[in-house]
Chains A and B, each alone.
Chain A
């Protein structure tokens, strides 16, 4: 078993896709770096923190992007974002079987924050364009840096989200919330609390991810193969269903009282034995979600 969390972006591509099938566009040899980081005297990367290209998965052509969490936390800058947008526009033109986004990102890269914010918005619109064309966009989340900020929104614009139990998906990181509202609001050093609030098991039980897997590259590969063909067009009916689901969460009585414990929410959502979830393995948690 190979830990997906411990792999680099390119190792994940090598593990997930058919052996030797990845063909990279704008590879590091082209030395496409961020001029903004250079101007600030900050080290840059020859791929600006994201690898993109085409490959095959189970014999079918897919497009793939993998964000490198070790470079600026996977933060989206101008070039990084434009590579993602270019890949998605190419998918709109060439119609691969799917687009895989191996997301690992803290969101907008603060060193080029305005460009990053607009870029994330462009990625979001491009994801929705590809989805509307019937090409499934599959987001895989299992890196140490999680999937946060604007990329956490982008992930939920995709057709299908796969997470490992060590993966995290959210908007603002716990450190940001603690800095803003104090340690009583969110103790970012309480690992169990962080995982109950943002982790893969929680997102699986609430339906925020579509598949929960072990921290294993082969499990991610199997889940990605299963997700090909999982196109879910956005329609008024799907949006009404989504609205009803999210509105029901607001009626969680404990949450209304200012309590926000994950176990109470899971119980409210009909999960039996919710208090045991943190101790259960992935297979057991997978079986808990109501059909």
Chain B
């Protein structure tokens, strides 16, 4: 979905969110209260500059607006694959963005992620995946790698991967797979504002994704293995 249409459906026509290149930001009003909106569009690749631009808004919200909720609108093709970004420490810039969102959560800001178009790997791990909860639109695509590319890299037959992906959600692209594994808390359909209202009111503050993944049958081991470590003699 186009970000502007999404913002209009969530907040109305005067939503106050603006695009600067691939970067989205603004202060919208929801149920009469301000909410910080930060995001990317055009399947942005996240380099040092875009990671810092997002972190800046998080830090400003943290400093100036205690407990104001933050909505992260996710549309990214992943981290920027450039030597200059590696030289400048893209992993450090992304960690900085993640740590900024994490501190906002700890200081009482509700942080909700919404994958409204596309989410991949490095661009996703320090945005939607570090929110209190990440949600998605049903038409969104979430992946690390498509099956043909995965077949090349792993040297496994593409046919076999495609067949197995019907029953095992752990490697194939697809938003439903991420819901089954607990990485995406829910799909937002129909009344998007009602979905946001529900997310702001009821998102967990603990990381429940492994427990959700087990309950939904998509990630059977993660929660149990972590618990075994806690219980080990």
In the assembled complex, which residues on chain B have CB atoms less than 8 Å from the CB atom of A202? 87
Q: Judge whether A279 is part of the interface by a CB distance below 8 angstroms.
A: no
Q: From residue 159 to 190 of chain A, which have CB atoms closer than 8 A to chain B? A: 169-172, 174, 176-177, 180-181, 185-186
- Cα A82 to Cα B220 with chains together (Å): 11
Contact of B144 among A110, A169, A197, A258 (CB under 8 A): A110
Residue of chain B at shortest CB distance from A206: B89
Q: Mark B51-95, 1 if CB is under 8 A from A, else 0.
A: 010011001001100000000000000010111111111111111
Query: Which secondary structure dominates chain A's binding surface?
Result: helix
- Cα A172 to Cα B161 with chains together (Å): 24
Report the interface size class on chain A. Answer: 35 or more
Q: Mark A248-291, 1 if CB is under 8 A from B, else 0.
A: 01101001001010100100000000000000000000000000
Contact of B90 among A26, A82, A118, A171 (CB under 8 A): A171
In the assembled complex, which residues on chain B have CB atoms less than 8 Å from the CB atom of A25? 228-229, 232
Residue of chain B at shortest CB distance from A148: B91
Report the interface size class on chain B. Answer: 35 or more
- Cα A70 to Cα B228 with chains together (Å): 25
Q: Judge whether A243 is part of the interface by a CB distance below 8 angstroms.
A: yes
Contact of B102 among A93, A125, A174 (CB under 8 A): A125
Q: Judge whether A149 is part of the interface by a CB distance below 8 angstroms.
A: yes
In the assembled complex, which residues on chain A have CB atoms less than 8 Å from the CB atom of B142? 114
Contact of A118 among B102, B129, B224, B230 (CB under 8 A): B129
Q: From residue 209 to 263 of chain A, which have CB atoms closer than 8 A to chain B? A: 234-236, 239-240, 242-243, 246-247, 249-250, 252, 255, 258, 260, 262
Residue of chain B at shortest CB distance from A242: B96
* A26 contacts B225, C-beta separation under 8 Å: yes
A-B contact count (CB 8 A): 247
Chain A CB count within 10 A is highest, among B121, B161, B229, for B229
Known interface pairs A171-B85, A177-B86, A249-B88. Does A243 touch B222 (Cβ–Cβ under 8 Å)? no
Q: Judge whether A83 is part of the interface by a CB distance below 8 angstroms.
A: yes
In the assembled complex, which residues on chain A have CB atoms less than 8 Å from the CB atom of B121? 108, 117, 149-150
- Cα A181 to Cα B219 with chains together (Å): 35
Q: Judge whether A78 is part of the interface by a CB distance below 8 angstroms.
A: yes
* A86 contacts B229, C-beta separation under 8 Å: yes
Residue of chain B at shortest CB distance from A179: B81
* B48 contacts A246, C-beta separation under 8 Å: yes
* A171 contacts B91, C-beta separation under 8 Å: yes
* B229 contacts A121, C-beta separation under 8 Å: no
Q: Judge whether B154 is part of the interface by a CB distance below 8 angstroms.
A: yes
Q: How far is the CB of A239 from chain B (nearest CB, A)?
A: 5
Q: Judge whether A13 is part of the interface by a CB distance below 8 angstroms.
A: no
In the assembled complex, which residues on chain A have CB atoms less than 8 Å from the CB atom of B103? 234-236, 239
- Cα A64 to Cα B150 with chains together (Å): 32
- Cα A250 to Cα B52 with chains together (Å): 10
Contact of B171 among A114, A174, A185, A265 (CB under 8 A): A114
Q: Judge whether A81 is part of the interface by a CB distance below 8 angstroms.
A: yes
Contact of A172 among B81, B156, B223 (CB under 8 A): B81
In the assembled complex, which residues on chain B have CB atoms less than 8 Å from the CB atom of A79? 221-222, 225
Q: From residue 178 to 233 of chain B, which have CB atoms closer than 8 A to chain A? A: 178, 181-183, 207, 209-210, 213, 219-230, 232
* A121 contacts B125, C-beta separation under 8 Å: yes
**Which residues of B are at the interface with A, using a C-beta cutoff of 8 A?**
48-49, 52, 55-56, 59, 62-63, 79, 81-96, 98-100, 102-103, 106, 121-122, 124-126, 129-130, 142-145, 150, 153-154, 156, 160-161, 164, 168-172, 177-178, 181-183, 207, 209-210, 213, 219-230, 232
Sampled A-B contacts (26; CB under 8 Å): A25-B228, A41-B156, A78-B222, A81-B222, A83-B225, A85-B210, A85-B222, A86-B229, A89-B226, A89-B229, A110-B144, A114-B183, A115-B171, A115-B222, A118-B182, A149-B122, A153-B122, A155-B91, A170-B90, A174-B83, A177-B83, A186-B83, A234-B102, A236-B59, A242-B96, A250-B48
In the complex, the 9 A-B pairs of residues with the closest C-beta atoms, listed nearest first: A86-B229, A156-B95, A113-B144, A82-B225, A152-B91, A86-B226, A260-B84, A25-B232, A121-B129
